[in-house]
Amino acid sequence: MYKYALLCAAVMLMSGVFADDSTSFSKDCFNISGTISFNITYKMADDKLNSYEVMLTNASTISNFNCKQTEGPIMAVISEGGSDLTIEFDINKNKTKVASMDPQHWGVSKMIYEYTLSPADVKTVGRRQATAIGSYFVTPINHTYSCSKQQVKLENVTIPGANDTSVEGEFINFSETGLTIRVGPLLPDTTDYDYHYCKADQKVKDIVPIAVGVALAALVVIVLVAYLIGRRRTVAAGGYERV
Ligand SMILES: *[C@@H]1O[C@H](CO)[C@@H](O)[C@H](O)[C@H]1NC(C)=O
Ligand SMILES: *[C@@H]1O[C@H](CO)[C@@H](O)[C@H](O)[C@H]1NC(C)=O
Ligand SMILES: *[C@@H]1O[C@H](CO)[C@@H](O)[C@H](O)[C@H]1NC(C)=O
Ligand SMILES: *[C@@H]1O[C@H](CO)[C@@H](O)[C@H](O)[C@H]1NC(C)=O
């Protein structure tokens, strides 16, 4: 009877593990996967800040993209419910640093999020645009970026229009968990990719072999000490050394 209950519990646990809300966006030249959410911080009537979170669902789609480098930067626009996330890539195939991108690396050079603020306590209701410019997710060419959790702050919030009015104090935190980004040719089997792990994940990867090494060393010491103590006792008790 409780074998059955155990099985049920196991199934429920497994479904919890596999019921993920990760999304995947790909075209010929890129693949962006992971669970993407935005923490939107806005100004209330009393100028204090409040925030809410939006998560991209499977209903989000690529509404625009460019894979032809001759026609401008490689980019993707991911849209859902009237909000648009634009991701622009920079690929530096040169052997020297170009702009902010390392030689023979690619990365995200720009992220723009356009959204509408509609909570009841917003000071200025309406359309917003937040931007991040820099070099994010920088990865050697032909490698796939992988990170278990990452955030990018999008600032310079403006009310888009004829004279982009800026809104002081507001910002967006783009956050993605279980993130993989590939720029370049996609392969049928993702296990064939060379992955480039973010710093936080590299640390975890280093910690495991170090921990194993320390455990093994400790074991050797314990065995040695036990042996020495054992030997001393044998000697003291007039053991094998007195023939
Ligand atoms: C995109 O990446 C995800 C995660 O690695 C993978 O499951 C999916 O198959 C990839 N899609 C394509 C078209 O390569
Ligand atoms: C969203 O951002 C605000 C301000 O940084 C923070 O106080 C809040 O805890 C964040 N919310 C979530 C769900 O991460
Ligand atoms: C790469 O280098 C070449 C010549 O060294 C230069 O003409 C080209 O503009 C560089 N590429 C980029 C993206 O700057
Ligand atoms: C990346 O892969 C493409 C296609 O497989 C290849 O032509 C190119 O030489 C590679 N570039 C680097 C820097 O490895």
In a domain, 238, yes or no: yes
Q: What is the pTM of this model?
A: 0.79
CB of 118 within 8 A of CB of 42?
no
d(CA 68, CA 206): 38
The per-residue pLDDT for range 149-192, each reduced to its tens digit, is 999 999 999 998 878 889 989 999 999 999 999 998 898 888 88
From 23, 33, 194, mutation site for ligand 1 pocket: most ligand atoms within 8 A of C-beta:
33
The tokens describing 146, both together, are 């992988």
Count Cβ atoms below 10 Å from residue 234 Cβ, excluding itself.
12
pLDDT at 8: 53
Number of domains in the chain: 2
Count Cβ atoms below 10 Å from residue 173 Cβ, excluding itself.
16
Among 144, 131, 154, smallest CA distance to 32 is for: 144
Strand partners, 128: 115
Same domain, 68 and 94: yes
The per-residue pLDDT for range 84-126, each reduced to its tens digit, is 999 999 999 999 888 778 999 999 999 999 999 999 999 999 9
Same domain, 39 and 79: yes
In a domain, 236, yes or no: yes
Considering every ligand atom shown, identify the ligand nearest to the alpha carbon of residue 172 and give its number.
2
Alpha carbon nearest to ligand 2 atom 11, residue? 39
From 106, 142, 183, 193, mutation site for ligand 4 pocket: most ligand atoms within 8 A of C-beta:
142
**Number of Cα atoms under 13 Å in the Cβ half of residue 234:** 11
In a domain, 13, yes or no: no
Distance (angstroms) between ligand 4 centre and the Cα of 184 equals 9
Task: Collapse the DSSP code of 191 into the 3-class scheme (helix H, G, I; strand E, B; otherwise coil) and give the result.
Answer: helix
Distance (angstroms) between ligand 1 centre and the Cα of 201 equals 20
Same domain, 82 and 143: yes
Burial of 183 (0-12, 13-18, 19+ CB in 10 A): buried
